[in-house]
Amino acid sequence: MQNRTGTVETSEYWVVRIRTDAHLEPWLGETLAPLALELEPEGTSLLTGTAADQAAVFGILLRLRDSGVSLNMLWIQRRKKSEKGNQG
């Protein structure tokens, strides 16, 4: 369904958690917004957040691949928005 601005509204979103094998440079973390970047003590990085749709998830994964980032863990879950319109 499209809203007044012409964008498509969906009733779901995607929760994303990605751990990489090494610390990511801050500039790369900025390009992966809306995911938050956390540099972990073990030398890994954790990216967490939500994506609007499946295409956004694939876009994140493609940016990581194109940057040569090795993944240690990938967790993605599709969720329904509550009837009140909130995520979660």
* Domain range annotation of the chain: 13-80
CB 51 within 8 A of CB 13: yes
Q: What is the pTM of this model?
A: 0.79
The token pair that represents 30 in the structure block: 């900025």
Q: What is the mean pLDDT of residues 1-19?
A: 74
**pLDDT at residue 21 above 50?**
yes
Q: Is 60 exposed, middle or buried (0-12, 13-18, 19+ CB in 10 A)?
A: buried
Q: What is the pLDDT of residue 84?
A: 47
CATH fold of the domain at 13-80: Alpha-Beta Plaits (3.30.70)
How far is Cα 86 from Cα 79, in angstroms, rounded to an integer?
11
Q: What is the mean pLDDT of residues 39-57?
A: 95
Kindly tell me the sign of the dihedral angle through the C-alpha atoms of 60, 8, 81, 12: negative
71 vs 86, which has greater pLDDT?
Answer: 71
The token pair that represents 20 in the structure block: 């990489």
**pLDDT at residue 83 above 50?**
no
Q: What is the pLDDT of residue 71?
A: 96
